[in-house]
Amino acid sequence: MRKRLIAFLLILAAGLLLPPSRAEGEGPVTIHAASAVVMSGTGDVIFDFKGDTRRLIASTTKLMTALVTLEHASPEETVPIPPACAAVEGSSMYLKAGAVYTVRELLEGLLLASGNDAALALACHVAGSAEDFAALMNEKAQALGMTGSHFANPHGLDDPAHYGTARDLAVLMAACLENDTLASLLAERSAVVGEQTYINHNKLLSLCPGCLGGKTGYTEAAGRCLVSCCEREGTRLICVTLGDPDDWADHQELYNWAFARYSTRRVSESLSFSVPVLGGQAERIRVGAEEAAFFLPRSAEVTLVAHLPRFVFAPVQEGEAAGRAEVFCNGEKIGEMALFYAETVEEAA
C-alpha cells in the first residue's frame, strides 16, 4: 500500500493574504473582541487582531487541563473525590465528596459544564496538587510553542500569573483535536453523569454549521472568552476571541468571512499525466501523485509542472517512482509532489 502524504501549506507571499484585521469596523470584518485569531488547521494565521497580546483566559484554560489529563490518565480510571474538590468557587459540575467518578465523567463535567471542581479533582488525581499539575500544563505549553502563555491553576480563575494569547489558544485547540478522545468530548452536546445531565455551554455547536467543538470561558476581569473549531468542505479553521461581549456572532462572522476566501485544494485529484511505454503491452502508462492538499485563497491560480521521463521501458509496476511535480500558486512555487506509476504495464509478448 502506498504511503499517502498530506501536506497543507499556506502561501504567505505578498498579495495572497489579506492584511490583519482591526476590531470595530477596520479590516476585512468587524468584530468586538479585545484580541482574536483565525488559524487554519495546520497552524497558519489568516486573521490576527492583537493575537499575541497576553490576557486572562478564564475557563478556556480547561482545554489544557483536559489535554494534560489524557496524556497522564486513562478515561476509565476512577477518581475518589476529596472534600476540597467538592467546594471550588465558580462554575461547577457539583461533585460530591466521597463519591467516585471516572476520568471521562470528570472530563465531561469539565468541558461541558465548565466545572472548576472537576478541574481540581483531575489535577489532584494526575499530579497530587493543583500546583504540580500547573507545572505539567506549563511543560506542555512550552512543548507546543505557546510562548505567550503561563498557567497557575487548572480551572482558569483569575490569577496574575495565569494568562494566554489568542494565538496560543488556537495552537492549543489544534493539539486537542489531534487527541481522538478529547475531540469527541468537545463535540458532545450533552452528557449524563450519575443523576446529573450536563449541557455543553458551547452554543456554536448548534448555531454554526460545521462546528466541531470548543470551549467557553468567562470571569468579570477576563470578559467572555471563546475557542472553537469549524470544518466545511474539507477545510478546517480554528477561531479564538478574548474579551468579546458578542463572541457567538463574531465567531460566525469570522468563519463566514474565512471560508468564503480560503479553501483546501487537493491538487493531486486533477492530475492527468502519462508517459510513453516502449516494449510494453500498452503504449502509455498513467501517472499518479501522492495525495497533497494546499490551504489557499480561493482566488489563487494553481498550476502543476511535471518532471517525468520522456519514455519508460516495460515492464513497469504500479507504485514505482515516476518523477515529481512542482506546484505553483499565482506563478510562485509552493511545494512539490512525488509522482508514481498508477498502473502496471507488462512486456509485449
Kindly list the catalytic residues: 59, 62, 114
Quick check: 335 and 302 in contact, CB under 8 A? no
Strands across the sheet with 35-40, in order?
45-49, 35-40, 235-242, 223-232, 211-219
Quick check: 123 and 133 in contact, CB under 8 A? yes
Beta-carbon contacts of residue 256 (< 8 Å; ≥ 6 apart): none
Residue 185 Ramachandran class (φ > 0 left, ψ -120 to 50 alpha, else beta): alpha
| Residue whose C-alpha cell is 491553576 | 153
Integer Rg of the chain from CA:
25
Q: Residue 303: count other Cβ atoms within 10 Å of its Cβ.
A: 11
Residue 32 Ramachandran class (φ > 0 left, ψ -120 to 50 alpha, else beta): alpha
Q: Residue 295: count other Cβ atoms within 10 Å of its Cβ.
A: 21
Residue 305's H or E segment, with its range, is strand 302-307
Where helices occur in 188-245 by DSSP H, the ranges are 204-207
The secondary structure of residue 112, as a DSSP letter, is T
Nine cell digits for residue 301: 491560480
Find residue 211's DSSP bridge partners.
230
Q: In this structure, which amino acid lies at residue 172? A: L
- Cα dihedral 331, 334, 340, 342, rounded to 10, equals -70
Quick check: 162 and 150 in contact, CB under 8 A? yes
